[in-house]
Structure 1
Amino acid sequence: MGTLMLMELTSLDGVAQAPGGPEEDTSDGFRHGGWAVPHFDEEMIERIAARTERGAALLLGRRTYDIFAASWPLAEPDDRVGAKLNGMPKYVASRTLDTVSWQNSALLTGDVAEAVGKLKASVDGEIQVHGSIGLVQTLLRHDLVDEIRLSTFPVLLGSGRRLFADGTIPARFRLVGTETSATGVVVTTHARDGELTYGAIGPETGNW
């Protein structure tokens, strides 16, 4: 059974749109593309490469697939991330694409949640989701996410598509790892941990 991991970059206010470049995603007039780039250093790139190399398969939404398919095939042969992404099996969840041309890519057909459930049952290892903000909501809504690796950058953007948008269902996660880069990026890894629980705190409750 595969483990489905979200690998996401967000600002402090939760924006995940276009971290990698000005033209990456300008939908809805977004003007802050490339906001994550100044915080990348060799150490962070090494960490991303090491984590990406652990993947057994890649699962992408249409927009992120288009961005990756236009970029990563241009990577140099010694680029560890490029070599891994180009070589690994890739599955694309899209209702608008008829074909996918990036090597080792395949379209998921039919109901997305059902198709991803079957994918998890057939893949031995880590299925990584990068970006794919719209797809992420579907995966969370159907409780298909096993882990979230969240890189939070020390910036506020004020606008843009947020990773955990309206419609995210309540769920509990357990912190299983944390790292901090020299440029101030906090990377946390969270594992799915059952149903959300509730309580009350204050002098009147005896829990203070």
Structure 2
Amino acid sequence: MGKLVISENITLDGVIQDPTGEDGFERGGWFGRITDSDRTAWAKVELDEALGAEALLMGRGSYEYFVARGWTSRSGDWADRLRSLPKYVVSSSTFEDPEWTNTSVLRGDVVAAVSKLKEEVAGDIVVYASGGLVPTLIEHDLVDELRLMVYPIILGAGEHPFAGTSKSKPLRLASSRPVGDSLLLLTYAVE
């Protein structure tokens, strides 16, 4: 059975919105405030995570974000690994023809589709970002692990990935480690 892993870049106050500043959020662009050394260390963590994954799961918005930024044809170890992984995109719309290799569209009941995917995949199924999908996965107890790359900034406003859950979700700290000079990777197991 697969293990569903949420992998988020997140500010110290829990915001995931507009890390690159491309979406027009007035407090966006916080990813760009780290040093080159931090960015290099972050990229190593991301590559290692991709190498340990058996599949990627994304909402349509996150999928389109990756495609619009050229991940379908980028070169390099991380891009090559993402291209080779099976990718599953949750979409309730008329999204038909994914252009990124090894991509399948999951339709219908999200909970049923992701539950079935977890039964079919042995190993980590990593969910990058996907702010619209993550709350649904958490709400329906489909998440096994949270990997939060915490950025040393407080925004004071913005979208939170866990907003709207109807009940508390106990977690257990599995590991914590510094990444670069100012980032912190927190890994929580969902109880």
Show the counterpart of 1:35.
30
Identify if the C-alpha distance between structure 1 residues 97 and 86 changes in structure 2 by more than 3 Å, giving closer, same or farther: farther
Show the counterpart of 2:178.
180
Q: Which runs of 5+ in 2 are unaligned?
A: none
For normalisation by structure 1, the TM-score amounts to 0.84
Show the counterpart of 1:93.
90
Q: Which runs of 5+ in 1 are unaligned?
A: 194-208
Which digits, 9 at most, give the CA deviation of each residue in 1:102-123, with x for residues without a partner? 1111110110000000000000
Q: Does residue 84 in structure 1 map to residue 81 in structure 2? A: yes
CA distance in structure 2 between the aligned counterparts of 1:89 and 1:172, rounded to whole angstroms = 30
Higher RCO, Cα 8 Å, sep 6+: 2
Give the root-mean-square deviation of aligned CA atoms.
1.4
Q: What is the CA-CA distance between 1:168 and the residue it aligns to?
A: 5.2
Show the counterpart of 1:145.
143
Which digits, 9 at most, give the CA deviation of each residue in 1:119-144, with x for residues without a partner? 00000110000000110000001000
Q: Number of residues paired by the alignment? A: 186
CA distance in structure 2 between the aligned counterparts of 1:63 and 1:168, rounded to whole angstroms = 24
For normalisation by structure 2, the TM-score amounts to 0.91
Q: Sequence identity of aligned pairs in percent? A: 38
Partner AA of 2:124 in structure 1? E
Counterparts of 1:98-117 in structure 2 under 5 Å? 98-99=95-96, 100-117=98-115
Larger radius of gyration: 1
More strand, by proportion: 2
Q: What is the CA-CA distance between 1:18 and the residue it aligns to?
A: 2.0
**Does structure 2 retain, via aligned residues, the 8 Å contact 1:56–1:126?**
yes
Q: What is the CA-CA distance between 1:166 and the residue it aligns to?
A: 2.5
CA distance in structure 2 between the aligned counterparts of 1:168 and 1:177, rounded to whole angstroms = 26
Show the counterpart of 2:16.
16
CA distance in structure 2 between the aligned counterparts of 1:5 and 1:34, rounded to whole angstroms = 25
Show the counterpart of 1:202.
none
